[in-house]
Chain A
């Protein structure tokens, strides 16, 4: 079947041929020099692309791909090696990234590539400007590194399941990012018996702060990046902000006042359709939930203060809606956390307190705890997986 190809060059090709070429294609050991240089090439292309300046979410990606940062990851990987085990790539990885957290497809691809895998990525035919910038950057790196380019294909197709079925049959590992519905659909397509699968379903994320630890304006700047870069629709974008201990409500109020200023300062705007969809969700929340007060900062910021977190419903429309609540202590959140909870961005807590909360939750939820401003910072540990470990095989060779 014929599909649109984006990387290593734009055009059209038979998907069977792409899959066969990748399956027989060259592969390199994890963190081979040429792989590191290829990632650095993407990074250079991104930093050099004038269009990228309008998309601040590309900066952390470009930094992640730099030689120095990849080298640090390689060192970590090497340090964990055992003398009796050789780590090798899994083979062909089939990635289905979210169509709208644009940068995710490159993170997913890059980590897998650095582990030495060959990769095929499916992206939606409806592509954002950011995705086009990313495709161009990948192609620039591909032109300089033809050997690595031969182990990558980014293809684009629409509604049909057949191309995904074909790629699934060839894959040694399948990586599905995104909504529970996508996972359900693609998971039904058979994989080879030896193949493994990494699944990243719908998640919910929250921010927790203790009053007084940090300056509200500074916190707001970082919260803006965490929440607004992907219209608050990233899995790690905070949607609930919890204040802990004495003075929690005034601290939340100060934070959201500062956030309103930040939203205006950055000139963030929503399309009217998104504003109306959010209003419907907000009014629905007012009808159903224990909201004690609503505060609005234009259409872009809506804060619903909850009288209690009991029975909290994690459905959320994105688009700058924050639930706010207070608890007496960090430990009080242990009972609140559920499996769906992914990232907790924190301010004002020490390592002991955080570790105590993680132990109290004991795996029922929360896969990342990071400072404000790092909610979207990608890393090898994601949704409870160690991606580098999952994307390699261990050969026992004593």
Chain B
């Protein structure tokens, strides 16, 4: 099935059935998940829609080891960057789950990049891949995206001459530029003619929003520096690697075939009406080796299209409004500690 050809009503029925199966699978395979579901959704049998599937707060993967496969079946453990000072999320993947993530990401990316692998410029340094002890979201993002390009050039490692040679070699050819949003903003040089190229970026707007850079300004500057007109942000999280939400020409983030969003009203936790801001829950049919199929994020967003995005893609699309600000509670324990040790 193509990525964005399925009308929302049918997609919800399909996802609900697959997610229902995952609830029962993880209930049987992961004891902490079972204890949670048995309290928050006692007697759960089947979900009619993704919104009916019991979800976990995404930060639970920072505090708890949640696995649905034996320890010796874990093929790799993904660590999400986490905010400074916080424990990272740990996501346990067996071979099948890792392969399913790769397939799903490929299906999504081929839609946007085409079937051919294009020369790829990476707005980062190779060293983020080498230090496995500090394996970051940036490293994971590059490892995930690199296979969709060829003849990779790491911008921060290349000398002026190397860059010139690479650009000359691929002059007139469409290329892919990939990088974290703030890395692209800081390091994508002006003066390179990359007309006909595609920029894929991710990692959140926070750093740029702090500098008051809007998505429109970002696109304008990228076009002025390089001639690139096709700019696609994407949204996704390490806890649901493989299921990514790519920004279309109309600026909306589209749910892929393997996943969807439920925007929840934080006062009632019921799905919010279309267009109204709420907390974003993401669902994915991919997680088999860990119970990450329905996760309440700490992001705010809105549903902006249901089968009716001006770009023509079907299903739901969202816009993000940033992170929920961290709250400071009062209390004895919240003392000078942080201040005085900092």
Chain A residues proximal to chain B, CB less than 8 Å: 96-102, 104, 122, 124-126, 128, 158-159, 161, 164, 177-179, 181-182, 185-186, 200, 202-203, 230-235, 237, 270-277, 279-280, 283-284, 286-288, 291, 293-294, 298-299, 317-319
A283 and B61 CA atoms in complex are apart in Å by: 11
**A-side contacts of B40, CB under 8 Å:** 283, 286, 294
Instruction: With A272-B266, A284-B63 as known contacts, state yes or no: A96 contacts B336, CB within 8 Å.
Output: yes
Contact A230–B330 (Cβ < 8 Å)? yes
- Closest residue of chain B to A202 (Cβ to Cβ) is B333
Can you name 22 A-B residue pairings with CB atoms under 8 Å? Answer: A96-B336, A98-B332, A99-B334, A100-B328, A100-B329, A100-B331, A100-B334, A124-B336, A125-B339, A179-B337, A182-B335, A200-B332, A234-B332, A235-B331, A237-B331, A271-B325, A273-B324, A274-B327, A283-B60, A287-B64, A294-B39, A298-B267
- Taking a contact as CB atoms closer than 8 A, the residue among B32, B327, B334, B340 that contacts A161 in the complex is B340
| Complex CA distance for A284 and B36, rounded to whole angstroms | 8
Chain B residues positioned under 8 Å from A317 (CB to CB): 329
- Given A271-B327, A274-B327, A284-B63: A178 and B336 within 8 A (CB)? yes
Interchain nearest-CB distance for A184 vs B (Å):
9
A274 to B331, alpha carbons, bound, how many Å? 13
Q: Which residues of A contact B64 (CB under 8 A)?
A: 284, 287-288
Partner of A164, one of B324, B333, B340: B340
Cα of A319 to Cα of B334 in the assembled complex, Å: 13
Known pairs A158-B339, A280-B57; A101 contacts B331 (CB<8 A): yes
Given contacts A273-B327, A284-B63, A287-B32, contact A233 B334 (CB under 8 A): yes
Find residues 292-342 in chain B having any chain A CB closer than 8 Å to their own CB: 296, 298, 324-342
* Contacting pair A98 B331 (CB below 8 A): yes
Q: Cβ of B135 < 8 Å from any Cβ of A?
A: no
Residues of B within 8 A of A98 (CB): 331-336
Which bucket holds chain B's interface residue count? Answer: 35 or more
Q: A128-B330, A181-B341, A276-B57 are in contact. Are A99 and B335 (CB under 8 A)?
A: yes
Asked if B331 and A186 sit within 8 Å, CB to CB, the answer is no
- Taking beta carbons and an 8 Å cutoff, which residues of B are in contact with A? 32-33, 35-36, 39-40, 56-57, 59-60, 63-64, 66, 266-267, 279, 296, 298, 324-342
Could you tell me the distance in whole angstroms from the C-beta of B295 to the nearest C-beta in chain A? 11
A234 touches B331 (CB 8 A): yes
Contact A101 B330 (CB under 8 A): yes
Complex interface: chain A residues within 8 A of B296 (CB): 276, 279
User: CB-nearest residue of chain A relative to B327?
Assistant: A273
A53 to chain B, nearest CB (A): 18
A158 / chain B contacts, CB cutoff of 8 Å: 339, 342
Q: Give the chain A neighbours of B36 by CB distance below 8 A.
A: 283, 286-287
Partner of A280, one of B60, B332, B333, B334: B60
- Chain B residues lying within 8 Å of A104, measured Cβ to Cβ, are 332
Q: Chain B residues with Cβ under 8 A from A125's Cβ?
A: 339
Question: Which of B326, B327, B332, B336 sits near A270, CB closer than 8 Å?
Answer: B327
Complex Cα distance, B56 from A185, in Å, reads: 36
Residue ID in chain A nearest B331 by CB atoms = A233
**When the two chains form their complex, are residues B329 and A283 in contact, meaning their CB atoms are under 8 A apart?**
no
Cross-interface CB contact of B266 among A124, A186, A299, cutoff 8 Å? A299
Cβ A274 vs Cβ B329 within 8 A: yes
Chain B residues closer than 8 Å to A237, beta-carbon distance: 331
Q: A181-B341, A287-B64 are in contact. Are A277 and B336 (CB under 8 A)?
A: no
- A230–B35 Cα distance when bound, in Å, is 31
CB–CB A231/B329 < 8 A: yes
Q: Smallest Cβ distance from A224 to chain B, in angstroms?
A: 15
Most A CB within 10 A of own CB, among B35, B266, B342 = B35
In contact, B330 and A279 (Cβ under 8 angstroms): no
For B58, the closest partner residue in chain A by CB is A280
Q: Which residues on the A side are within 8 Å of B340 (C-beta)?
A: 159, 161, 164, 182, 185-186
CB distance from A282 to the nearest CB of B (A): 8
Determine which of A234, A235, A276 lies in contact with B298 in the assembled complex, contact meaning CB atoms within 8 Å.
A276
**Contact residues in A for B66 (Cβ distance below 8 Å):** 287
Q: How far is the CA of A288 from the CA of B64 in the complex (A)?
A: 9
Contact call A283/B56, Cβ cutoff below 8 A: yes
A276 pairs with B341, CB closer than 8 A? no
CB A292 to nearest CB in B, in angstroms, measures 8
B328 contacts which chain A residues (CB < 8 A)?
100, 126
A181 to B336, alpha carbons, bound, how many Å? 9
10 shortest interchain CB distances as A-B pairs: A233-B331, A178-B335, A273-B327, A287-B32, A274-B327, A181-B337, A100-B330, A271-B327, A182-B337, A159-B342
Complex-state Cα separation, A319 to B298, whole angstroms: 17
Which residues from chain B contact A318 at a C-beta distance below 8 Å? 329, 331
Question: Are B60's CB and A179's CB within 8 A?
Answer: no
Give the docked Cα–Cα distance between A126 and B337 (Å): 13
- Closest chain B residue to A181, Cβ basis: B337
Assess the B32–A272 pair: CB atoms within 8 A.
no
- Excluding A232-B331, A233-B330, 7 further A-B contacts by CB distance (< 8 Å) are A97-B335, A101-B331, A179-B334, A270-B327, A273-B325, A284-B63, A286-B35
